[in-house]
Structure 1
Amino acid sequence: MSEKQTYTVSIYTENNIGVLNRISAIFQRRHINLESVNVSKSEIRSVSRITLLVRVTEEQIKKIIGQLEKQIEVIKAYYHVDEETVYQESCLFKLRTDLLTENDEIQKVINSSKSRVININKDFFVLEKSGTKAEVEELYHLLNKHGIKQFVRSGRIAITKEEMPVSELLESIKK
């Protein structure tokens, strides 16, 4: 049996109510955890792109892609390993303002992590960071010892290094 690894799954779908639920049910039936989920419009008008991050074997992901493509609303599904994509996550941290004004270490952490302050008031400031999951987690651990008031992280967003010919596929379906 092959080793489990992380795959980024890109699913192009019609933007219909319930499609995300039906897609997640495919993973749920196999007891596979979705590590992250992101839904957005795609480069194709009226087509959504769902980006999932899962940890499975290659045999499992091939079967899942087949199941996904059997869904009526799914136009095309792809899977890629990390080396085949350019990917990022974004996160926001809410911290006490006095940390920013009275703690030199926080300033150093902000500068070295390539994060930025996007909001500040007398009680709290909000720090934004985009990067890999490891970079986000490293910043979390550095800030956590100072007391994080709130934290939120997006799902993975990814673009493949190679062309995904979904636009051409759609054009051929329309004809």
Structure 2
Amino acid sequence: MTKTFTITVFTEDQTGLLSRVVGIFNRRNLSISSLTTSASSDESIFRFTIVVKVTEEMVIKLVAQLDKQVDVLKAFYYDDDDIVYQEIALYKVPIEVFTNGRNVEVMIRRHNARVLLIEPEYVVIEKTGHEYETEALLTELRQEGLYEFVRSGRVAVVKPMERLNSYLQELQEEGE
């Protein structure tokens, strides 16, 4: 049975590593739903957050393959119950949708979104939340008028203490 998993990959910041990481998914003909890269809690370590919909057997194989990469320190996988996650979405709408009544203003409040920028021709709205939440606002804004839309990949933190710290501590103790 397939389900959504979030894979975190901790690496050194090396050129070409993104291509190698994505290549592991390509070779297995798997689609990546979301891919986000960033710094981690340790400034010398880089973090990939990858969302895939696969079986648990497949995610175990993926994590094992990722762990074998030279510049990968460690990879972990989680299901949605083990993490806290969000996405950010930006919507550019015509300024006219605000001057034609209060519909959009009420909609923004109902969706807990906020206005980031007001220009003579358009307004930029920001919404953070899960994909279904950003998608719900998108559906409503399309009915009012929409110039542009973009959504980030998933950002996530693990509910239990970060396993990378424990792993690095174990490595350090083994080396002593």
Q: Secondary structure at the match of 1:55?
A: strand
Any conservation in 2 of the 1:87–1:132 contact (CA below 8 Å)?
yes
Q: Which of 103, 113, 116 does residue 114 from structure 2 map onto? A: 116
Look up the equivalent residue of 1:14 and give its one-letter code. E
Question: How many residues are matched?
Answer: 173
State the Cα deviation string for residues 39-90 of structure 1 (Å, max 9, x = none).
0000012111100110000000000000000001111111111111110000
Normalised by the length of structure 1, the TM-score is: 0.95
Aligned pairs for 1:147-166 within 5 A? 147-166=145-164
Instruction: Please list every run of at least 4 consecutive aligned residues from structure 1 whose deviation after the TM superposition is greater than 4 angstroms.
Output: none
8 Å contact from structure 2 (residues 113, 125) kept in 1:
yes
* Candidates 90, 95, 104, aligned match of 1:97: 95
Is contact 2:97-2:145 (8 Å) kept? no
**Distance in 1 (alpha carbons) for counterparts of 2:132 and 2:62:** 27
2:25 corresponds in structure 1 to 27
- Give the Cα separation in 2 of the matches to 1:173 and 1:7: 26
Amino acid at match of 2:98: L
Q: Whole-Å Cα distance in 2 between the matches of residues 87 and 120 of structure 1?
A: 28
User: Is 2:47 aligned against 1:49?
Assistant: yes
Amino acid at match of 2:142: N
The CA distance in 2 between the partners of 1:103 and 1:60, in whole Å, is 51
* Shift in Å, 1:134: 0.7
| 1-structure distance, mates of 2:141, 2:119 | 19
Amino acid at match of 1:5: K
Taking the aligned partners of 2:4 and 2:89, their CA distance within structure 1 comes to 20
CA RMSD of aligned residues (A): 1.1
Contiguous gaps of at least 5 residues in structure 2: none
| 1:107 alignment partner in structure 2 | 105
State the distance in 2 between where 1:84 and 1:166 align: 15
Structure 2 residue aligned with 1:79: 77
Is there any run of 5+ residues in structure 1 with no aligned partner, and where? none
Equivalent in the alignment of 2:5: 7
Separation in structure 1 between the aligned mates of residue 6 and residue 108 of structure 2, nearest angstrom: 29
CA distance, structure 2, for counterparts of residue 112 and residue 50 of structure 1: 32
Provide the rounded CA distance (Å) in 2 between the counterparts of 1:11 and 1:157: 13
The answer to whether the 8 Å contact 1:14/1:73 transfers is yes
Identity value in percent: 35
Answer whether contact 2:92 2:122 (CA < 8 A) is retained: yes
